[in-house]
Amino acid sequence: MTSHRALMSLLFNADKAVEVITVAEELGVLAALDLGSAPLDDLAARLGLRPMRLCKLLDCLECLGFVVRDDGSYRAVPGAHQAAIDVFGPDSQERDRDSYPWRRVRGRLAEVLRGDYAMPAEDFVWPLTDPEQIAGFERSMAVGLPPILEAFRRNASRLWPASRLLDVGGGDGGDVVHARLLSAGGAANFTANRAAVSR
């Protein structure tokens, strides 16, 4: 059973983990270790960092599952560097989403729930009113699918013993789910929006 206390602690400290990964990417730590293992002193000299302080950063990265320590040397876990680029790099969908006007309501959830505050209509149009807005929304939703699909892949046999995994409402996201699940070798039945899938 998941510990709610552990989950709360994880969420509370999430911003610290984000800073560790962001700095490791910006300073070239993950890129260097993605090329191969390196001893602490060599890595520090190559990047112009203080060894003992870098050691603490590497300890954090190891706890997060981004690097592995072996006989005094460190190496990046396969895929960790690319994941950091995807989420924290210049083309990050997450950074793009964080720039949207929804941030106007951040910290005001209680007011929103009571009906005392809402997103100004000029900042967020809903329902969407033109093809460009709809296409942008579909792209945004599709980009958020990979972690959901990974959860399905890992837990499908426990969650859905039968072959039916998911009903997809359509749109670009539906196409991605269809392609990703089939490419993973999973047998699934799909109910999708015929017009969206035919695009």
Is 4-83 CATH 3.10.420.10? no
Q: Long-range contacts made by residues 159-167, C-beta under 8 angstroms, separation at least 24? A: 163/187, 163/188, 163/189, 164/188, 164/189, 165/189, 166/190, 167/191
pLDDT(121) > 80: no
pLDDT of residue 147: 76
Cut 0.75: pTM above it = no
95's tokens: 């950074």
Give mean pLDDT, residues 145-159: 80
Helix (H, G, I), strand (E, B) or coil at 128: coil
pLDDT(163) > 90: no
Helix (H, G, I), strand (E, B) or coil at 127: coil
DSSP code, position 42: H
Tell me the residue type at 158.
Answer: R
Domain spans of the chain?
Answer: 4-83, 131-197
